[in-house]
Amino acid sequence: MLKKTLSAMAWLCIFITAFVSHTAWPQKPPKRKTPAQLKAAACCEEARELRAQIANLSSLLSELSEKQERDWVSVVMQVMELESSTKRMESRLTDAESKYSEMNNQIDIMQLQAAQTVTQTSADAIYDCSSLYQKNYRISGVYKLPPDDFLGSPELEVFCDMETSGGGWTTIQRRKSGLVSFFRDWKQYKQGFGSIRGDFWLGNEHIHRLSRRPTRLRVEMEDWEGNLRHAEYSRFALGNELNSYRLFLGNYSGDVGNDALLYHNNTAFSTKDKDNDNCLDKCAQLRKGGYWYNCCTDSNLNGVYYRLGEHNKHLDGITWYGWHGSSYSLRRVEMKIRPEDFQP
């Protein structure tokens, strides 16, 4: 009985294995999708493709934007370099033209001096540029004034302006390049310093001597935009050293706005080593120059030369408060004198 049972179970296992593994056994057919489902699937596929395209376009646009920005920065740098190079070339050309013009002027002056003999008598002695002008020296440039035997003054090299407002002006100060420091001591301001063809101070002792007779002062100014202004004063005089080269001025005229020298009238000259101002502060130290400081200044024509007029941190530039105020440093300044009775 047991043997029959085991045989039946064996046959049952063989049947089940064959039934399960039979490849031809019919499967349940897959469920068919509706047209709406097919359409939705197609839309999803299109959306995925569009998102991929958009991502690619965004990446491409980002790359193009970065490249355009780099190219733009490169173009801007090239333009700035070109502008800088152009300005340097213009500056060199201007300097060359100035030197060429000055050389021609010097040649004309030497030819004129060679053609004329100036007789040194009390009636026609040469004291300044106005004396040279009256003797038909009409070309602006550098001249040598003869020694003054009466005062014991040596020969003096001066720059004469023979053109402005009738000519005959002796230049006593010039600021135009910033190559010469005006933060000097008493002795240097007394004797003078700088280059007579560039930036210079003629010297307080010489200015005192040249202003012994009634004298007129002219101050010419230029800002960094190329605008020109001037101020003139009658009865200009400079005291002697015992009087600390005190400044004396008469009436003002000109087109530079408020009179910025009036505040300095009747004040002594001060330098970094000789404080003669009317203030507890040492104005020459604060304003970095030698000048007729009161307490302290409405103008500072011997201050620090700042390019482009910028000196907001310190009020020590070349200033004329009546024009651009206290925080703007001028580009160019000249001070010049001639006798009050000069007739061109």
How far CA 222 is from CA of 30, 155, 219, in Å, comes to 96, 31, 10
Residue 186 lies in a domain: yes
- Look at residue 254 in the predicted model and tell me its pLDDT: 96
Residue range 65-71: mean pLDDT, rounded: 77
Whether the model clears a pTM of 0.85, i.e. scores above it, the answer is no
Residue 90 lies in a domain: no
Residue range 202-222: mean pLDDT, rounded: 96
Could you list the residue range(s) of the whole structural domain that residue 334 is in?
102-258+329-339
Between 63 and 279, residue with greater pLDDT? 279
Residue 34 lies in a domain: no
Cα separation, 268 vs 245, whole angstroms: 6
- Look at residue 275 in the predicted model and tell me its pLDDT: 96
Residue 188 lies in a domain: yes
Between 300 and 152, residue with greater pLDDT? 300
Asked if the model's pLDDT at residue 18 lies above 60, the reply is no
Where residue 177 sits, what CATH number does that domain have? 3.90.215.10
Residue 294 lies in a domain: no
- Look at residue 247 in the predicted model and tell me its pLDDT: 97
Q: CB neighbours of 142 closer than 8 A, spacing ≥ 6?
A: 106, 109, 157, 158, 159, 160, 196, 197
Residue 115 lies in a domain: yes
Residue 270 lies in a domain: no
Q: How many domains does the chain have?
A: 1
Q: How confident is the model at residue 15 (pLDDT cuts 50, 70, 90)?
A: low
Pick from 210-214, 215-219, 299-303, 313-317: least confident: 313-317
How many Cβ atoms from other residues are within 10 Å of residue 111's Cβ?
11
- Look at residue 116 in the predicted model and tell me its pLDDT: 42
Residue 54 lies in a domain: no
Q: How confident is the model at residue 108 (pLDDT cuts 50, 70, 90)?
A: low
Q: How confident is the model at residue 16 (pLDDT cuts 50, 70, 90)?
A: low
Nearest to 176 by CA among 222, 217, 207: 222
The pLDDT tens digits of the residues spanning 216-245 come to 999 999 999 999 999 999 999 999 999 999
Q: What SS3 state is found at 237?
A: strand
- Look at residue 70 in the predicted model and tell me its pLDDT: 79
Share of the chain above pLDDT 70, in %: 78
